[in-house]
A and B are shown apart, each in its own frame.
Chain A
């Protein structure tokens, strides 16, 4: 199968890169962390020496007491924390509600987190809550709507969120723009918004659409990437046997996603914060820390490839 060949080639690329000799100096300072979940809290807190950053779901703390917020502030004082929104619906032609943005602003103010992020998705329309992240039509109209919502978000919260590409099981209808071009248009349309690039979402969308994932990666505005998500998923099937890769955050990060991280490290010289996400079927913390270690090696391999190429060109 073609995908297996791609995965094998990607793993081989990581292996080759990992054994190349790193030239000294000038490596960006990358960070590696986990998504904070209550189930993982004991493991995270007892291994802070191996974790550079945390990402916390904002909606889980919208109703947090002052005491809880003080605890989160203490946590944010120990290591960098970013709030991660999952329900604003920024990529919509409808304006995001000010009350939702006020809640983000409250969390930012109360905890001293270094920033926040949210998805380029719509989650409600016409008074209906979809219950998850949905891809809007990738059109000039939705691009303008997303830019308007991001401008509004920056005004109300005081900071521009990092914007994340989402996984979708269906190519949204009425989409004259490709996903990378649509994301680029939004990022540049609001004056260089920072991009949170989810590499499993990117991989899933590529294989679901029949696109070669490394070529797909290179179409995104990689110079705007500030953070990276890594996760896993599984194959599901439709009524007629159609297969789709579901980004479920319940499985280990697959090797090809680490290979995409290597390629990103080769192409994007700026410092990156890499977060491993897990939303259930939690393995022992050691397994997640091992994934972080693999991510460190994968990104470092890409950095070395870039440095070697730069030396050769000099």
Chain B
């Protein structure tokens, strides 16, 4: 089962560091609180958490690269959050 609501929830996971942290801590409660249907909640419980973190970090890096230098400084809290909550990739 997939829906616009699930797409929207994924978009939030990929862009909202606080929501991602909450989801990683309490996946079922976080998904249910976002008014997803039971099928979507069940699917989200099966997600590869490591891959989810890697994907979110990659999206954050892409967004940061698209911003002008000043804007990067203003929004780098997201990059800092990822740096704090997961080790940097080697290389």
Number of interface residues of A (CB under 8 A): 38
Q: Does A90 touch B at the CB level, under 8 Å?
A: no
Q: Does A284 touch B at the CB level, under 8 Å?
A: no
Q: Does B90 touch A at the CB level, under 8 Å?
A: yes
Determine whether the beta carbon of B7 is less than 8 Å from that of A122: yes
Please measure, in the bound complex, the distance between the C-alpha atom of A236 and the C-alpha atom of B10, giving whole angstroms.
21
Interface positions, chain B 2-49, Cβ under 8 Å from A, are 2-12, 14-15, 39-40, 43-44, 46-48
Chain B residues contacting A239 (CB-CB under 8 Å) are 50, 53, 85-87
Chain B residues contacting A31 (CB-CB under 8 Å) are none
Chain B residues contacting A106 (CB-CB under 8 Å) are none
Chain B's nearest CB lies how many Å from the CB of A163?
18
Determine whether the beta carbon of B59 is less than 8 Å from that of A238: no
Please measure, in the bound complex, the distance between the C-alpha atom of A68 and the C-alpha atom of B29, giving whole angstroms.
52
The DSSP consensus for interface residues of chain B is helix
Q: Does A314 touch B at the CB level, under 8 Å?
A: no
- Interface stretch, picked from A111-119, A134-142, A215-223, is A134-142
Chain A's nearest CB lies how many Å from the CB of B58?
6
Whether A173 contacts B11 in the complex (CB less than 8 A), given A238-B53, A239-B86, A242-B51, comes out as: no
Closest B-chain residue to A131, C-beta based?
B63
Q: Does A155 touch B at the CB level, under 8 Å?
A: no
Question: Size band of the B side of the interface?
Answer: 35 or more
Q: Does B54 touch A at the CB level, under 8 Å?
A: yes
Please measure, in the bound complex, the distance between the C-alpha atom of A94 and the C-alpha atom of B66, giving whole angstroms.
24
Closest B-chain residue to A246, C-beta based?
B58
Please measure, in the bound complex, the distance between the C-alpha atom of A235 and the C-alpha atom of B90, giving whole angstroms.
9
Interface positions, chain B 54-91, Cβ under 8 Å from A, are 54-55, 58-59, 62-63, 66, 85-87, 89-91
Please measure, in the bound complex, the distance between the C-alpha atom of A169 and the C-alpha atom of B62, giving whole angstroms.
13
Whether A174 contacts B2 in the complex (CB less than 8 A), given A137-B43, A237-B90, A242-B54, comes out as: yes
Q: Does A240 touch B at the CB level, under 8 Å?
A: yes
Please measure, in the bound complex, the distance between the C-alpha atom of A208 and the C-alpha atom of B8, giving whole angstroms.
24
Question: Which residue of the partner chain, among A130, A142, A237, A242, contacts B11 with CB atoms under 8 Å?
Answer: A130
Please measure, in the bound complex, the distance between the C-alpha atom of A173 and the C-alpha atom of B63, giving whole angstroms.
23
Whether A234 contacts B91 in the complex (CB less than 8 A), given A128-B15, A136-B7, comes out as: yes
Determine whether the beta carbon of B50 is less than 8 Å from that of A242: yes
Please measure, in the bound complex, the distance between the C-alpha atom of A137 and the C-alpha atom of B40, giving whole angstroms.
10
Q: Does A43 touch B at the CB level, under 8 Å?
A: no
Chain A residues contacting B43 (CB-CB under 8 Å) are 137, 173-175
Determine whether the beta carbon of A134 is less than 8 Å from that of B3: no
Whether A170 contacts B51 in the complex (CB less than 8 A), given A93-B2, A126-B7, comes out as: yes
Question: Which residue of the partner chain, among B4, B40, B89, B90, contacts A174 with CB atoms under 8 Å?
Answer: B40
Please measure, in the bound complex, the distance between the C-alpha atom of A117 and the C-alpha atom of B90, giving whole angstroms.
34
Please measure, in the bound complex, the distance between the C-alpha atom of A121 and the C-alpha atom of B62, giving whole angstroms.
15
Determine whether the beta carbon of A93 is less than 8 Å from that of B3: yes
Question: Which residue of the partner chain, among B2, B3, B14, contacts A130 with CB atoms under 8 Å?
Answer: B14
Whether A170 contacts B55 in the complex (CB less than 8 A), given A131-B66, A239-B86, comes out as: yes
Determine whether the beta carbon of A169 is less than 8 Å from that of B14: no
Please measure, in the bound complex, the distance between the C-alpha atom of A92 and the C-alpha atom of B7, giving whole angstroms.
8
Closest B-chain residue to A241, C-beta based?
B50
Q: Does A124 touch B at the CB level, under 8 Å?
A: yes
Chain A's nearest CB lies how many Å from the CB of B43?
4
Closest B-chain residue to A123, C-beta based?
B11
Closest B-chain residue to A239, C-beta based?
B86
Chain A residues contacting B62 (CB-CB under 8 Å) are 131-132
Give the A-binding residues of B (Cβ under 8 A).
Answer: 1-12, 14-15, 39-40, 43-44, 46-48, 50-55, 58-59, 62-63, 66, 85-87, 89-91
Q: Which 6 A-B pairs have the closest CB atoms?
A: A126-B8, A131-B63, A137-B2, A174-B43, A238-B50, A125-B7
Q: What are 5 of the A-B contact pairs (CB < 8 Å)?
A: A131-B62, A131-B66, A171-B48, A237-B54, A242-B51
